[in-house]
Amino acid sequence: MIQHKILVTGGAGFIGFHVCRRLLEDGWEVVSLDSLTDYYDVGLKEARLAILKERDRFHFHKLDLADAPALRKMFAEEAINAEVPIIHLAAQPGVRYSQVNPGSYIQSNLVGFFNLLEAARTAATPHLIYASSSSVYGGNRKLPYSEHDPVDHPVSLYAATKRSNELLAHVYAHTYGLPATGLRFFTVYGPWGRPDMSYFIFTHAILNHEPIQVFNHGDMSRDFTYIDDIVEGVCRLINLPPQPADSNAEHINSPATSWNPHRIYNIGNHKSVPVLDFLKVIEDAVGRKAQVELKPMQTGDVKATFADVKDLFSAVGFKPQTTIEEGIPKFVKWYRDYYRG
């Protein structure tokens, strides 16, 4: 069945590609944009796009969200109006890179997001779903991370821009009634993934007999979340725009909820896996041992992440559940096929 039109930003990116492909399979007409930056291999982004462009119902625009006039023109040309939800996945990612090129985070994650909010406000968008990050928890030490905990101590510029997105979206929900849902993604991995992520770096290094750097001397853990679980959570929320809440409701003053039409959810595998255990699964999938170099903690990094996903399950009846023993072999198979390794 043909669904309504939907706009997905960042369609050439890792998560954006998978979301677009799922939406096309579900019968949506998908309009997507991406600036195709060279932060990592543009060829990989173009290969993702080539798959999406095989579908007649996929419309792509090479466009930088920081270019407000171009964005407004695209909205007009594609008739992005009050019947078209938006899934915003375009961003400058990466905690460590934000120390090297901070200006790109301001342009992409702040200026670009502001321009999208303005365009969505003008179009009377029925629901804006936007990507946040587990990085917003920053210096928090209480695990698992709950959306209802304060997030006032980011430890990277990337995290600060993502928390700023949440605050901006709340203001637009309050001032203009723009329904918005923020999703805090936890270490997403899987086929067609990002080359700057640990699982990609580890796999490449093992296959090429190169050493691997593991930080904080290996004493780190992450809530690794398989891409299909992320996509399922995103898609289940499309037709569930947040509603204004009773001002006396529980948690109404928490960072996750509001009397305005704005909500925040964690999407993670609700399990914190030691990075060395994660590496062992990659070694088993590749069939070769890694050469490990233990290094000190890097600035802007955190020791552990762990998602509380009770609110997501309550909202959509779903929570991520793919184990790394299931997900990593799928990534390694894709990697070998794509790079003929």
Catalytic residue among 39, 145, 158, 226: 158
Q: Three-state DSSP class for 67?
A: coil
| CA-to-CA dists, residue 255 to 66, 293, 332, angstroms | 27, 39, 37
Residue 144, preceding peptide bond in cis (omega within 30° of 0): yes
Which amino acid makes up residue 282?
I
CB 6 within 8 A of CB 238: yes
The question of whether 158 is a catalytic residue gets the answer: yes
Q: Which long-range contacts (CB under 8 A, 24 or more apart) does 287-292 make?
A: 288/206, 288/207, 289/206, 290/202, 290/205, 290/206, 290/212, 291/205, 291/209, 291/210, 291/211, 291/212, 292/211, 292/212, 292/214, 292/218
Q: Residue-wise over 51-69: b if at least 16 C-beta within 10 A, else e?
A: ebeeeeebbbbebbbbebe
Instruction: Provide the β-strand partners of residue 143.
Output: none
**Minimal CA–CA distance to 111: which of 177, 165, 48?**
165
In this structure, is the dihedral angle defined by the CA atoms of residues 198, 337, 51 and 1, taken in order, positive or negative?
A: negative
Q: How many residues are given for the chain?
A: 341
> What does R_g of the chain's alpha carbons equal in angstroms?
19
Q: What are phi and psi of 131, to 5 degrees?
A: -80, 125
Active site residues: 158
